Chains A and B, each alone.
Chain A
Amino acid sequence: MNLPFRLQSFRHGVHPDDHKQGTEHLVVEHMPFVGRYVLPLGQGGKPAKPTVTRGQRVRRGERIATADGFVSTSLHAPVDGTIVDLGRHRHPNGDLVDCIEIEADAFSLQTIVPHATVDPDTLDVDNFVAHVQQGGIVGLGGAAFPAHVKYKTPAEKPVRHFVLNGCECEPFLTCDHRTMVERPAEVLRGARIIAKKLGATDIHIGVEHNKPDAIAALRAQVLPGEAIHVTPLEVKYPQGAEKMLIKALFGQEVPAGKLPLDVGCVVNNVGTMVAIADWFDRGIPLIERVVTVSGPGVRRPANVRVPLGTPVRDLLAHCAGTVPETREFVMGGPMMGSSLASIDVPVLKGTSGVLAFTAAETARGNEFGCLKCGRCLDACANFLNPSVLARLSRHGEFDALEANFVMDCMECGACSFTCPSNIPIVQLIRVAKSAIRDQKRKEKKP
């Protein structure tokens, strides 16, 4: 750290090269409309129920599927077009899932038909939550958890702080950065709506200090005397993990197995706030999102506002395609995103980035035995002992794994990142966690 003072942060973590210089100054551009869009019904929470039939014409912004249950969100048409299929298509995770496929109307002007705007102050909490759900809004940080679920807080757990996550600690990704720089007014508008509805006393926005322009842009929007704090944080992975962000901002830990709400916090991504502001003030549901297309394999890295359901292949083509040396496509960030088996899959609500890596990044050295060097302990923001967890996972010692808090692992991958022996630590932990969950499920229903 070459700074004269120490920025707020959590303890432990790793410092990957941020690789953001390729896209951090690029203004968000619009993805041109393409021929076909595929929208998986499940994009955060339980899959939605289609409200359209095959052959039906839909307008851009029109609802095409409705939330099924509380932890579920609506889905809207990203383009004017015709429903050509209600069937199973390839999801980025490799599964075949129920989707709505739309063929875009090539002759349409693609103007959005806005829904009625709503003044959030006129809604009680239940109607407010229902309205957010209608907007199809999910957390845009990557996990795509339905946003409204967090706003339905039990009375015995009052909210003190509404926290906005502008850390963007994943290398390569700059979509949140550009959102904060280009749309700070909407970020704060959304934040004010939510904070007021939650009854939060203040708003805290945590931004890693490698985004000074974003910090300045947000601060310029804060009214004098307003309880909104924009806090620069140390550049460190996983700073954007909810629990790490809370530790960094308030020095407080969220008890294991509990939620931020248990310490009086609700955390949202900055991009989600723009979606909230657009939905309430302009009547535009979540039909597009900003995606960072980057990585050494991409010919023209860019931040692109992409209609949901756009095939990744078309998005990459918009960015001048990829180099022949490309060996891996990743959806999301390089630390927690997932490899794509095919680029003929759609952009989802939770797609923060599409990255292409070449052989230089995908090459892996030999795996060595664990040297007990302790680097993974220094990396683990949850203060686990990843080296021991990996060893126990290899031996299938599930009881010992649980006793060593394996279920507290958030799978950020800092341990694997730093391991000099190239041990796939977090992968071994994932295997163990899912085996333990399976075991628990079996015990429940004998």
Chain B
Amino acid sequence: MSAFDKTLQIRSSPHILSGNSVDHIMFHVVLALLPAAAFACFAFGLTAVLTLLVAVGACVGIEHVLCVANRKPSTVGDWSAVITGLLYGLTLPPGLPLWMVAIGGGIAIVVGKLVFGGLGQNPFNPALVGRAILQAAFPVAMTTWPVAMAEGRFSGLPSSLLTLPFLTPRYDGVTAATPLSAWKFDHHLAGTSDLALGFTGGSLGETCALLIGLGGLYLAARRMLNWRIPVAILATVALFAGILHLSDPARFAGPLFHLFSGGLMLGAVFMATDMVGSPLTHLGSVIYGVVIGVLVVLIRVFGGMPEGVMYAILIGNALVPHLDNLLRPRVYGTRAGKGAKA
């Protein structure tokens, strides 16, 4: 105990705090992500374990190194880099060469977060920034999907995983289309229960929608997650997809298929709700969710790509400063809360 600890404290009120803290909240987000990550490891075996480890390691490592290099206290203790790494890892296809995983993780932290000034300053979700750049750089590798529940997934590693940097990965295992691309390009519809439970191909975290939803419920119950955002996104997707499905069932897939396929659940629950990139007000949160939901269905159904959650959320993030500016709450005792721009 230093001498200072024994002195009387003189401070401005309030003298008690709620006990919320950023690192505490972030730690619980990590906890909530673990079931989905564990299921990914079960479904894809050692590949998933290595991919997630490298993704988290790259994110945490680069943040720590850059903090130290800038002679600043390391910020990895706030757990946010771990979340970025986990989320980013879960958006990747299993079997992606590890050197690509590491590069994308570095990009997520550096371009997605640190260049803006670190935690709290990033306009876009860092994990999605990393993935978006990776998708542009390595489009083929990012859309090659080994099948889930493959035989021998715990005994060996696919050769693509260990591809040396700058060499084209070679896929030796069985690859398959994701449910979304199977439906989009071949018009093959996967069963809803397979989708919800995660027995389909896709990114590591595109699989078990139910476990992701459970993680979300846990956080919402602890008031660590703005439930309005996932509810708005999922309801919008269900409604929009449902209307399309009713208009032409042969052409458009039903709402359940949309809800449980692809990265929608992961995106809606864990990425769109990133506090930094989501609106401040409740009404803003709902509008933000609706916009993302509409964009997801538009991109999936009418766009050139089978999946659009990533771009929908990034576009949603871009809208947030405008939503916050437009939807300022009405100050008590005034007619309107509109003042000069902050």
Contact = CB atoms under 8 A, between A and B. Distances in A.
A associates with B:
yes
A388 B328 CA distance: 11
Given A372-B280, A374-B280, A341 B10 contact: yes
B111 interface: no
Tell me the interface secondary structure of chain A in the complex. loop
A336 B12 CA distance: 9
A328 B17 contact: no
B25 A420 contact: yes
Interface residues of B, number: 45
B331 A370 contact: no
Main secondary structure of the interface of B (DSSP, over half): loop
A404 B328 CA distance: 10
Contacts of A399: 340
Interface string B1-24: 000010111111111111011111
Interface in A354-388: 355, 357, 359, 361-362, 364-366, 368-375, 377, 381-385, 387-388
Contacts of A374: 226, 275, 279-281
B216 to A, nearest CB: 16
A404 B280 CA distance: 15
Interface in A403-425: 403-405, 408, 411, 413-414, 416-422, 424
Interface in B297-342: 324, 328-334, 337, 339-342
Contacts of B22: 368, 371, 420-421
Contact of A417 (B8, B9, B14, B337): B14
Contacts of B12: 339, 424, 426-427, 430
Given A253-B333, A258-B333, A359 B8 contact: no
B120 A370 contact: yes
Contacts of B121: 369
A256 B333 contact: yes
Contact of A369 (B10, B16, B118, B333): B118
B243 interface: no
B119 interface: yes
Contact of A371 (B5, B18, B120): B120
B117 interface: yes
Nearest to A329: B8
B19 to A, nearest CB: 9
A265 to B, nearest CB: 13
8 closest pairs, A vs B, by CB?
A369-B120, A403-B340, A413-B14, A403-B339, A420-B20, A256-B333, A373-B275, A427-B12
5 contacts: A368-B120, A381-B332, A383-B332, A400-B340, A408-B333
B188 to A, nearest CB: 42
A392 B21 contact: no
Contacts of B120: 368-372, 421
B63 to A, nearest CB: 14
A357 B10 contact: no
A429 B276 CA distance: 22
Contacts of A258: 333
A185 interface: no
Which of B14, B119, B121, B226: most chain A CB closer than 10 A? B14
Contacts of A254: 333
A392 B332 contact: no
Nearest to B120: A369
A431 to B, nearest CB: 9
Given A369-B118, A371-B119, A374-B280, A336 B9 contact: no
A374 B20 CA distance: 13
Given A334-B15, A413-B13, 9 more contacts: A171-B16, A254-B333, A256-B331, A357-B16, A371-B119, A383-B330, A416-B17, A418-B18, A421-B22
A377 B8 contact: no
B21 A422 contact: yes
Interface string B287-304: 000000000000000000
